Structure 1
Amino acid sequence: MMLGLPKHKMKYTDVNNDSYKLLWNNLSLSKQATFNIIDFLSLDLVHNPEETNKLSPLHTKRSDVIDEAQRIHMNIFKSLLGGYKYAMLFDYSTSENKGDSAITVGETLLLRKLKIEIVFACKVFCTDNQIYRAHNISKNYTSKDLVILFHGGGNVIGWPSSDFSRSKQIKRFMPFNIVMFPQSILTMGPDSHIKFCQKIYASHPKLTFLWRDKVSFELGKKLFPNVRSLLSPDIAYQIGFVPRFMHPTFDILWLKRTDKESPHYNTPAAPEGYRMHVSDWLIWKTHRGDSPMEDSFLKTTNGMMFLQRGRVVITDRLHGHILSTLLNIPHVYIDNKQRKISNYHTTWTAGLDNVVLANSSTDAVEKAKELLIKLDKELPSVKGYFTG
């Protein structure tokens, strides 16, 4: 794993971080000879995007995976946004798709850390009147003070309505830098829509896309050569470590999506002697807050409650994987045709031994059972109600 050709070599033991030292000791001698950790940690990842995920897949502990994701975020976003005092955030999510709301929470927490004030925000999809109002507000700021931010997610190309919404915003904010929080590309749209996206995104001279997996990163560079492409973990990792705060009520909680990204499979019966519940968190409704932004925080917390109902989780949603990682819930994932979860897992979380890819729904149940047996003493026991 070569991280460039530095002129000098520094010993890994010079790094004052126990988790990094342990990782170093676990590397083979050949990898130690080529992996210069001092040089890697000092890289500006905006100028070295190819290097961004060199360390992440080697981490085997959840805490180290999360720490590294947050370190990457701060490295990239301090470089991109460090000079700004104000921001506008477009198309943030308040959806019962708890992963989209978790992205909103991560974006908000990051801006708070960077001490950037949000002077305008509109939830998906921003109306023409809202965009017009934001444009008028922007006249009170210079391009050195204000940055335009697009909500992250997995909707470039694959969900055309999101591209149409961004196309309206791009036209209104030509003088300002625009940064899109980490996204996946889902090339499920027709060729005509891909060409539309290429045209609108090439039209802005100061646009930066962050991609949340290596496949999307490489595809983004190919499809949008005039746009700066960077690599970054999903911004929901800004939420950080979350200890389990409720007891499970099932052995296996199966988060099964029901939209067009579904892998479409039949659900097998629960293993004998185990309780299993299957549903999508879209129907796990959340009480409303006093503002749309508060709704995002409440729905994210509710999503974590949804997942904690299982001692282990099976999921075909990317944020089923990400939030389960934050909660340290062992889980099995089933990929979709776009390989959205495996692309992310390979890029950032491949070293975690409590995350398993299943080849089918039947295989998922077997692997969930294996996790339950293997980790039985480490997992909280099932408590609560029993249905007749």
Structure 2
Amino acid sequence: MQAPHSQLISNLQAQIHDCLKDYIQPDRHLACLDFPDIKNCGDSAIWLGQMAYLRNWHKVQPNYISRMKDFSKSAMLKRIGDGQIFLHGGGNFGDIWLGHQKFREMVLNKLPGRQIVQFPQSIHFQSKTHLESARRAIGRHGNFVLLVRDEKSLHFAQQQFDCVVKLCPDMAFCIGDIPTDKPSLPILAMLRQDKEKASNVAINLPSGIPCEDWMTENKMDVRRAKFSGIKSAIRDRAFSEIRLRMLNAAANNRFQRGIKQISRAQAIVTDRLHVHICSLLIGRPHAALDNNYGKIYGFMDTFSGKTPLSHKAASLEEGIAWAQQQI
């Protein structure tokens, strides 16, 4: 009999497949754009979930991948022909992380009429100007499929954008259950230090509870991982997979760093969506504070909040108190 969190993961994977199955054709090449070559372990979790979905459900992998900085329309079309194009999922549809939105609109503008599928995103715009830019790009393109991961984003997108919009869980769930070592400390606070951090949270933790984030990495470790990925492609004479293996290795390095970090604790308090998701993947109790625009609670209310492993905390103090009851 499956544990409750394992059943939740299986159910969400089934929902993901139901959303995406009509957009994957195994006899056609495909591209995945906007690889997250950044420190955030959550983005790497999303990427690895996307790769796991393509591999485990469809027996395919991307024929072309790119970061924002090295995207080439001509190189992509040379590799995929009339194949499918996917954009990386996450929480950057909008203008909080404007570089990703500008990249998305650039791709739409360069490939009018060509079906482009957006892996699940949360949407948040602060500027009417930026929203209008997105609306124009989507409207001109004419064949955009937008997957969103909460009800608020769904209703917003249906009202604002002329495209197919579907509700879909976060792709990180396609990684599945993750076994871990036994925890070595009671409680860990994983709190953002960036512009999405929970509103009005003063970090004043009881003694013995460490406060961390997962944005610190050893650059040499990541470089070694990338080099290992390159070597594996050369060893297997899979020269067309050199970039794919290099970047997948970097994503796996970052993801494993995050899993190792949070699995040290018996219980976790966080305002990061993917600490919530990864805590479910490792079966660890955790209290969630919402981020500054409602992304975490929106996702939990839509997909993942009905489990005894997670608790929506109104304050850091309440989250700590709940976590203490779990150990």
Superposed pair shares fold, TM > 0.5: yes
Is residue 62 of structure 2 the alignment partner of residue 118 of structure 1? yes
Is residue 136 of structure 2 the alignment partner of residue 199 of structure 1? yes
Partner of 2:287, secondary structure, is strand
Is residue 165 of structure 2 the alignment partner of residue 232 of structure 1? no
Which AA in structure 2 matches 1:259?
D
- Give me the identity figure in percent: 25
Is residue 259 of structure 2 the alignment partner of residue 315 of structure 1? no
Query: What displacement does 1:103 show?
Result: 0.6
TM-score, normalising length from structure 1?
A: 0.74
Query: What displacement does 1:169 show?
Result: 1.3
**1:204-248 CA deviation, whole Å, 9 max, x = no partner?**
121101001111111111111x1100011000001001122x232
Instruction: Name the structure 1 match of 2:100.
Output: 162
Structure 2 distance, partners of 1:193, 1:284, is 32
Instruction: Name the structure 1 match of 2:206.
Output: 270
Instruction: Name the structure 2 match of 1:362.
Output: 317
Structure 2 distance, partners of 1:369, 1:285, is 32
1:81-160 alignment, distance < 5 Å: 81-82=24-25, 84-113=27-56, 114-123=58-67, 125-127=68-70, 130-138=72-80, 141-142=81-82, 146-157=83-94, 158-160=96-98
Instruction: Name the structure 2 match of 1:78.
Output: 21
**1:275-303 CA deviation, whole Å, 9 max, x = no partner?**
31111100154722122221001111111
Structure 2 distance, partners of 1:285, 1:249, is 22
Query: What displacement does 1:175 show?
Result: 4.4
1:168-247 alignment, distance < 5 Å: 168-187=106-125, 189-224=126-161, 226-244=162-180, 246-247=181-182
Which AA in structure 1 matches 2:151?
K
Query: What displacement does 1:352 show?
Result: 0.2
Which AA in structure 2 matches 1:232?
C
Structure 2 distance, partners of 1:323, 1:190, is 31
Describe the shift of the 1:171–1:132 C-alpha distance in structure 2 as closer, same or farther (beyond 3 A): farther
Is residue 272 of structure 2 the alignment partner of residue 326 of structure 1? no
Structure 2 distance, partners of 1:161, 1:84, is 33
**1:160-194 CA deviation, whole Å, 9 max, x = no partner?**
2111111221123224211010000022x311111
Describe the shift of the 1:263–1:179 C-alpha distance in structure 2 as closer, same or farther (beyond 3 A): same
TM-score, normalising length from structure 2?
A: 0.87
Structure 1 distance, partners of 2:316, 2:61, is 45
Find 2:248's aligned residue among 293, 317, 335: 293
Query: What displacement does 1:96 show?
Result: 1.6
Which AA in structure 2 matches 1:370?
Q
Describe the shift of the 1:97–1:238 C-alpha distance in structure 2 as closer, same or farther (beyond 3 A): same
Higher helix share: 2
Task: Give the number of equivalent residue pairs.
Answer: 302
Partner of 2:196, secondary structure, is coil
Query: What displacement does 1:320 show?
Result: 0.6
Instruction: Name the structure 1 match of 2:189.
Output: 254
Larger of the two Rg values belongs to structure: 1
Query: What displacement does 1:126 show?
Result: 3.5
**1:106-151 CA deviation, whole Å, 9 max, x = no partner?**
111111131234121012x2346x334224445xx23xxx001100
Partner of 1:68, secondary structure, is helix
Instruction: Note if contact 1:262-1:336 (Cα within 8 Å) is conserved in structure 2.
Output: yes
Structure 2 distance, partners of 1:117, 1:336, is 33
Instruction: Name the structure 2 match of 1:280.
Output: 213
Which AA in structure 2 matches 1:134?
M
Which AA in structure 2 matches 1:367?
W
Partner of 1:282, secondary structure, is coil
Which AA in structure 1 matches 2:197?
S
Structure 2 distance, partners of 1:285, 1:361, is 29
Instruction: Note if contact 1:181-1:209 (Cα within 8 Å) is conserved in structure 2.
Output: yes
Deviates more, 1:329-338 or 1:281-290: 281-290
